[in-house]
Chains A and B, each alone.
Chain A
Amino acid sequence: MTDVAVRTPAQRVRAWLPAYGVYVAIVVLLLFNIAFTENFLAWSNLRIQLIQVAPVVIVALGMALVIGTEGIDLSVGSVMALAAAFIPLYLGYGVVAAILVALIAGVAVGAVNGLLVARVGLQPIVATLALLVAGRGLALVVSDSQLREIRNPGLVELGSGSLFGLPYLVWIALALVLTVAFVVRRTVFGRRLLAIGGNRPAAELAGVPVGRVLVTVYVVSGTLAAVAGVLAVARIQASDASAVGVLIELSAITAVVVGGTPLSGGRVRVWGTVAGALLMQLVVATMIKHDLPSSTAEMVQAVIILVAVYAARERRSR
């Protein structure tokens, strides 16, 4: 019962590791690649890496917010598929209209998730699992299970064009990262979200509108997933509801966890999440460049997840 917390050096390392270990790992991997991988620093290579990681980052941002409330959103991949499925149907009304419809689909799924969690009181994992199944099913119905090519010049430009040498996709991801980081740090919504994740009954008694905040969090996650879905369509110049966003929920959760956001809620590390996604991307890229099978990359990723979770064990003894 000391008044001021006192930490031993070992405890300090344990507090530091889950938060910043991911950056150390990235630096180590970058140095390794710069030294041993041919053409690693070539712009064409870096550009591809960034394009590939962008959708995971976008989805992981929403996931980080949901996890911050001690929840989880498994439906993000299906939301991507649903958004992708709506694009070709509404392209006839123009690019903007098609994108808008896709985003509204994301908002709608997010709202249903949020209402199931906040009002009906379902466990987040169950509620969003239901939407994972239903969402992809709906996407297949909407698209008639057909792969549709996209030739709309606007969308193609969005998926492959650049500004100041950096692809639009990366700019969009960056803008969203900055926005979410700002929201978490500076807004009432951000603080309330963390309070709910840290201690929901306490937040409730303190007059936090818990239901409204939770619904908003899931809507944000759904919307971000829809954005990722639109960008995926734009990049591959096709809408394939059966393939878009499959298993991305796992990549997103991995990025969040590796980035040092605890699954127990109450804390969100936005930049850590970005770093987590980059680290996983780098691992795969490194393996491929060195002619190792992708199964090796998966095993390395698994080890990283275990290390991250191990390091993040909360000091429960307190």
Chain B
Amino acid sequence: MTLLEVAGVSKTFPGVRALDDVSFALQPGEVHALVGENGAGKSTLIKVLTGVYQPDDGAVRYRGEPVSFGTPLDAQRAGISTIYQEVNLVPLMSVARNLFLGREPRNALGLVDERRMNREAADVLTRYGVRTDVRRQLGTLALGAQQMVALARAVMVDAKVVIMDEPTSSLEPREVETLFGVIRDLHAQGIGIVYVSHRLDELYQICDRVTILRDGRVVHTGPLEELERIRLVSLMLGRDMAEVRREGVTGFTGEHEVQGAQPVLRAAGLRNRHKLHGVDLAVRPGEVVGLGGLLGAGRSETLKAIGGALPLDEGTVEVAGAPLRRRTSVGAVKAGIALLPEDRKAEGIVPSLSVRENIALAVLPRLSRLGLVSEKKIDTIVERFMTRLRIKASSPHQRVGDLSGGNQQKVLLARLLATAPKVLLLDEPTRGIDVGAKAEVQALVDELAAEGLGVVLVSSDAEELIEGADRVVVLRDGVVVGTLDGADVSTEGLLRTIAAASSAAASAATQEEAS
């Protein structure tokens, strides 16, 4: 019997047909991939399944019965759990509290039985590879561990269907393995899983069937095994197969021409008490240097230190030979360093402001006289970058918070580029954005390197790192453990370098990350 099914569902918003006669069926014990570019209708379909939206047309059937969930809570009670991209928990409450929120075990007096709750929480979380004191505040855990708590919570509510929206976007490889272990368990229990992800490797590793959406319609549905990767991508993008093949997996074209021998960025002996223990890095104009390593190796911290956003105990940063004196973000931006933060929502966009204001934010002094901004100059620069980066918004005055992830990322890149930087520090530039935008961002990085910028790239997507970078500097525990150059820049070389050296230190490091 089909577990969850939608038949002929349509959903129209003013001006947009978000879903057009979409049918989708999930069998018990099936891991069903749901893929598509931004705006293809994945989110809308999920929202129809979980009762956030009511379909205009068509039917939703759950365990054979027609249903109409009025609210997400109704859907949850019926056994449909959803895990969203961003963790939806209470950071100030303890891990155990979060896990049992609304279902706390009670003692005879009707009070929360803390001891039992903590014990059970610890038991449950161990199965998810999270070993930590469950009395800690959730917010103090690493993002990956928080994601695991969210997953554990979703599954614990007696779910028959679990919908996962980009569950691995903040997980490190080891945590992804744990997640897949959990998914296989659920699979064996006959629970149906809808798996939304942009990472093809994962899809092929874990999913049985796939449904591809494009422009609100189903363009393909069937067993995943029989579908060639390249064909999957072409169906998703609606592009010619030959074209996709020619372009390769990422939007990168290959080697960059290094211009001049003098580094545009030189960082030496960066030290921060817990996070960095003497990192050196040099980038020449036109060069893309990748930073490799596991989560917690100090990649983001290195970028932040260079960008003036992480206080340093020791170390120097030079841009084009001139040392930075004031170690602040303000000083770094002035010196020509542009940092794209890892967490787009928390540290990147200003959601309440328009696309235009967001792009202009970092260059206001340059677009003004005597403190008065020139609207004309802003318009010029905003138009230039909206065209160049192909930012899709209804107008420059649209709120950035209302844009898709890919477009938000492009707005941030536009903000950085507007400052005419010499050095670009990119922390996970393509995380959580759709395939099309991803290829565009990657192509842009190539272009910028060709224009003579020095680029430092951090990415947990190995393919992106390998294809995008000319050189990869591998970090572990805040120290450089190796550099890959030329032909050594390969997935194999990267893994070898990460895995090399004392395995004891590596396992100690991973333990630390989990807690």
Q: Do A and B assemble together?
A: yes
Q: Hey, which bits of chain A sit against chain B, CB under 8 A?
A: 1-8, 186-189, 191-192, 194-195, 197-199, 201-209, 262, 264-267, 318
Chain B residues contacting A188 (CB-CB under 8 Å) are 364-365, 368, 371-373
B contact residues around A6 at 8 Å (CB) = 13-16
Which of chain B's residues have a CB closer than 8 A to the CB of A203? 350, 361
Instruction: Give the residues from 301 to 323 in chain B that come closer than 8 angstroms, CB to CB, to chain A.
Output: 307, 309
The digit string for B331-343, where 1 denotes a CB below 8 A from any CB of A, is 0111000010100
Measured in the bound complex, the distance between the Cα atoms of B358 and A208 in whole Å is 12
- Inter-chain CA distance A274–B232, complex, in Å, is 57
A8-B14 contact, Cβ under 8 Å, with A1-B38, A203-B350, A207-B329: yes
Contact of B361 among A2, A5, A195, A318 (CB under 8 A): A195
Residue numbers in B under 8 Å from A262 (CB-CB): 352
Give the most central of A3, A192, A205, A208: most B CB within 10 Å. Answer: A205
Q: CA A203 – CA B352 in complex, angstroms?
A: 12
The 5 closest A-B pairs by CB, nearest first: A207-B333, A266-B352, A5-B402, A198-B350, A6-B13
Q: For A3, what are the chain B residues with a Cβ–Cβ distance below 8 Å? A: 38-39, 392-393, 403-404, 407
Chain A residues near B309 (CB, 8 Å)? 204-205
* Chain A nearest CB, measured from B422 CB (Å): 14
Q: Determine if B438 is an interface residue (Cβ-Cβ < 8 Å).
A: no
Q: How large is the interface on B (under 10, 10 to 19, 20 to 34, 35 or more residues)?
A: 35 or more
CB distance from A216 to the nearest CB of B (A): 11
Chain A interface SS verdict (over half): loop
B502 at the interface (CB under 8 A from A): no
With A and B bound together, what is the CA distance between A186 and B373 in angstroms?
Answer: 6
Contacts of B434 in A (CB 8 A): 1
Are A199 and B404 touching (Cβ within 8 A)?
A: no
Known contacts A7-B14, A195-B357, A195-B361; decide if A209 and B330 are in contact (CB<8 Å).
yes
Residue contacts A-B, CB under 8 angstroms, 28 given:
A1-B38, A1-B405, A2-B43, A3-B38, A3-B393, A3-B403, A4-B393, A5-B398, A187-B368, A188-B364, A188-B373, A189-B371, A194-B350, A198-B350, A199-B351, A201-B346, A201-B347, A202-B341, A202-B348, A203-B361, A205-B307, A206-B415, A207-B332, A207-B419, A262-B352, A264-B352, A266-B351, A267-B352
Contacts of A202 in B (CB 8 A): 341, 346-350
Q: In the complex the two chains form, is B360's CB within 8 Å of A199's CB?
A: no
CA–CA, A318 and B405, complex, Å: 12
Beyond the given A3-B393, A4-B15, A188-B365, could you list 12 further A-B residue pairs with CB under 8 A, ordered by the A residue number? Answer: A1-B42, A1-B404, A3-B38, A3-B39, A4-B16, A5-B394, A5-B403, A6-B14, A8-B14, A187-B368, A188-B364, A202-B350
* Docked-complex contact A191 and B360, CB < 8 angstroms: yes
B373, A187: Cβ atoms closer than 8 Å: yes
